[in-house]
Amino acid sequence: MDKKYLFKRNNVWWVKLAVPFHLRDKLGFDLRKSTGEKDLEKALLIRDGIISELKSKFLPYSKETQPNEASFNEKTTYFDYASTTPVDERVIEKMKDCLSFEGAFGNSGSRSHVYGWKAEELVEEARVNVSELLNCDPREIIWTSGATESDNLAIKGAANFYQSKGKHIITSKIEHKAVLDVCRQLEKENFEITYLDPDENGVIPPDAVKKAIREDTVLVSLMHINNEIGVINDIEEIGNITRENNVIFHVDAAQSAGKIPIDLSLLNVDLMSFSAHKIYGPKGIGALYIRRKPRIRLQPLFHGGGQERGIRAGTLPTHQIVGMGEAFRIANEQMEIDHQRLLNFRSTLWNGLKDMEEIYVNGAISNSFPGIFNLSFNFVEGESLIMALKNIAVSSGSACTSASLEPSYVLRALGRPDELAHSSIRFSFGRFTKKEEVENTVNLVKNSVSQLREISPLWEMYQDGIDLDKIEWA
Amino acid sequence: MAYSQKVVEKFEQTLNNPKKASVGRWKPGDKDFHRVGTGIVGAPACGDVMKLQVKCENIDGKNVIVDAKFKTYGCGSAIASSGQLIDMLIGKTIEEAQKISNQEIVDILELPAIKIHCSVLAEEAIHRAIDDFKSRRNND
């Protein structure tokens, strides 16, 4: 019988657990506890419970505060950076200094004392960091709670302010829900919305924007990088068109800020939405760029203490803002390095997978951000593939992974058949991705896809040469 | 994906050892193919297709399902539901098999509400396969 960890004292079995070296000055050489049992078999039954009880004493001193954390981090590869990113340690350090009594906890709106002044100084420093990444005037940056709020403020704010000029808005079918749902709401308020189709690569053709502009068009809202397929829109060309036609141009840059160069002094963009948590900053903070020349005016969503020049009321969350500022400063510093690594990751994955049968890239590789790579594995359903790739955190356009049970509207808008939308997986790499993680993923994906195809009736039919489109499905 | 341990286990068993999990097919020309009924339900555009085959033998005047095979395209719970269905079918007469309800699969796999349609698909697959078997018998 395995008596490991057990020893006998005064006829009773005890558990003895050695303390790791680095904790011995705090906890001693070992930890002991009696099982209370004289019978070895009974002692063995409760041994494991006592071991975990003793091990819990290591936790306050150890980096692993949760028992599962080590296995979670070591085994699970995170390929969902387009969804959110972990906060960079350098950002966390800066944020910590804005919370306690010793730190800059003050209200940046307090003009009468040093606590307020200190917070204000940090908020303005962060505003400069953000504006330097985008090459704009710091006064053109307004803090919000995130890109969703920025989109709401930009679109509703402009639509409502300029509605006497016209009530027509142009957007596309593949925008983020934070834009599409705002447009749906405006439709209820008697605005008219044109939803442009992307081309088969996922790009909104600037010409299509030009054609859609009418006498009563007040706003064009399009995203910079698409969150599902990584495709980049030509916001320079579209901006030239909107400026020529005296139409406001809003760009959702949640996925692009800090990842690809944006120079607002050269672009005819009037409003731009940003988020911190997509670029290694904290969740719950974002910004909206509002052009000063020509001046864009917005009707506010919130009313209150007049912060942010009355455009966005509410006490400024200093720690969040400082976090966003630092995240944007770091992004500015290492954008090229980050980008080069992402390019390598994507080509490693693609070179490893491209010879597979019936694999499709969603969106054109030549015109997309390498941190987002969307592939469809025909005849394999996306959610089952995610389950098979259990140690890789990815997302899918499959209906089964969405609350609405609808396959990705983005992929459908590209003209992809529903079955390819169901079969799509988005791999999204980031700053903390390791080369080995990408290399290991190649074989895991190949194996999982071939395992799932072996049990797929569609693959069987395809192999038999049956045209699936000609079958009448029940 | 808050799947129960049972769905995960069934899914992984199926993936890692498909033969043992009764993944496969009988095709025209196979010995005994005339005793096989095939049912295909679902559609690729909906994200779920289940193909179930049952092989029946006449034992004491009753048609008994002596073997079954399946292939499934779909989410993890659709695959697990198909595997679970196979376990429930073999050894039953076709009359007994027709009485299997999707709720039994839901209960065994502890399927979340949003995945109940996977079990419905499995129930439909049995009916289709048995109907197919019966129509072949009638044509003999």
Q: How far apart are CA A14 and CA A30, in angstroms?
A: 12
Q: How far apart are CA B50 and CA B78, in angstroms?
A: 8
Two tokens, residue B123: 């129930």
Q: Which residue has the tokens 């009468």?
A: A112
Q: Which amino acid is at A191?
A: F
Q: Give pairs for A243-246: CB < 8 Å, separation 24+.
A: A243/A268, A245/A210, A245/A213, A245/A217
Catalogue the E-assigned strands of A164-257.
168-172, 192-196, 217-223, 248-252
Give me the pLDDT at residue B1, please: 53
Question: Residue A396 phi/psi, 5° resolution?
Answer: -135, 155
Query: Cis peptide leading into A60, omega within 30 of 0?
Result: no
Two tokens, residue A431: 């700053």
Judging contacts by C-beta atoms under 8 Å, the chain A residues touching residue B49 are 456-458, 473
Judging contacts by C-beta atoms under 8 Å, the chain B residues touching residue A384 are 11, 74-76, 78-79
Residue B118 annotated as catalytic: yes
Q: pLDDT tens-digit profile of B44-102?
A: 988 999 999 999 999 999 999 999 999 999 999 999 999 999 999 999 999 999 999 99
A residues 366..385 contacting B (CB < 8 A): 379-381, 383-384
Q: How far apart are CA A255 and CA A259, in angstroms?
A: 8
Question: Residue A403 phi/psi, 5° resolution?
Answer: -65, -30
Higher pLDDT, B3 or A363: A363
Q: How far apart are CA A417 and CA A334, in angstroms?
A: 39
> Annotated catalytic residue: which of B15, B43, B46, B59?
B46
Closest CA to A153 of A179, A133, A172, A174: A179
Question: Residue A385 phi/psi, 5° resolution?
Answer: -70, -40
A451 touches chain B (CB under 8 A): yes
A459 touches chain B (CB under 8 A): yes
Q: What separation, in Å, do the N-terminal and C-terminal C-alpha atoms of chain A show?
A: 59
Give me the pLDDT at residue A68, please: 42
B14, B46, B48 member nearest A455 (Cβ): B14
Q: How far apart are CA A374 and CA A337, in angstroms?
A: 22
Cβ–Cβ below 8 Å for A456 and B14: no
Cβ–Cβ below 8 Å for A458 and B49: yes
Judging contacts by C-beta atoms under 8 Å, the chain A residues touching residue B18 are 451, 454-455
Reported as a pLDDT band with limits 50, 70 and 90, residue B35 is very high
Angle between the N-to-C axes of helices A318-353 and A435-454, in degrees from 0 to 180, rounded to the nearest 10: 60
Cβ–Cβ below 8 Å for B73 and A388: no
Give me the pLDDT at residue B139, please: 62
Low-confidence ranges of chain A (pLDDT < 50): 64-72
Closest residue in B to A404 (Cα–Cα): B114
Which pTM value belongs to this model? 0.85
A381, A460, A473 member nearest B75 (Cβ): A381
Two tokens, residue A426: 């988005």
Catalogue the E-assigned strands of A157-291.
168-172, 192-196, 217-223, 248-252, 271-275, 286-290
Question: Residue A144 phi/psi, 5° resolution?
Answer: -135, -175
Averaged confidence pLDDT in chain B: 92
Question: Residue A311 phi/psi, 5° resolution?
Answer: -85, -30
Work out the angle at residue A354's Cα, subtended by the Cα atoms of residues A278 and A226, and round it to the nearest 5 degrees: 25
Alpha helices (runs of H) in A34-164, residue ranges in sequence order: 40-55, 69-75, 89-96, 114-134, 147-161
Q: pLDDT tens-digit profile of A97-127?
A: 999 999 999 999 999 999 999 999 999 999 9
Closest residue in A to B40 (Cα–Cα): A474
Cβ–Cβ below 8 Å for B44 and A398: no
Judging contacts by C-beta atoms under 8 Å, the chain B residues touching residue A386 are 1
The bridge status of strand A392-393 relative to strand A372-377 is unpaired
Q: Is the CB of residue A196 less than 8 Å from the CB of residue A245?
A: no
Q: Is the CB of residue A228 less than 8 Å from the CB of residue A402?
A: no
Closest CA to A53 of A34, A76, A79: A34
Give me the pLDDT at residue A332, please: 97
Q: Is the dihedral of CA A168, A173, A175, A179 positive or negative?
A: positive
**DSSP states of A423-460 as a string?**
TEEEEE--TT--HHHHHHHHHHHHHHHHHHHHT-HHHH
How close is the nearest chain B Cα to the Cα of A199, in Å? 22
Closest CA to A424 of A348, A358, A345, A346: A358
Best mutation target among B11, B71, B73, B114 (most A Cβ atoms within 10 Å) is B73
Q: Is the CB of residue A431 less than 8 Å from the CB of residue A90?
A: no
Q: pLDDT tens-digit profile of A391-439?
A: 999 998 887 767 666 889 999 999 999 889 999 999 999 999 999 999 9
Closest residue in A to B17 (Cα–Cα): A451
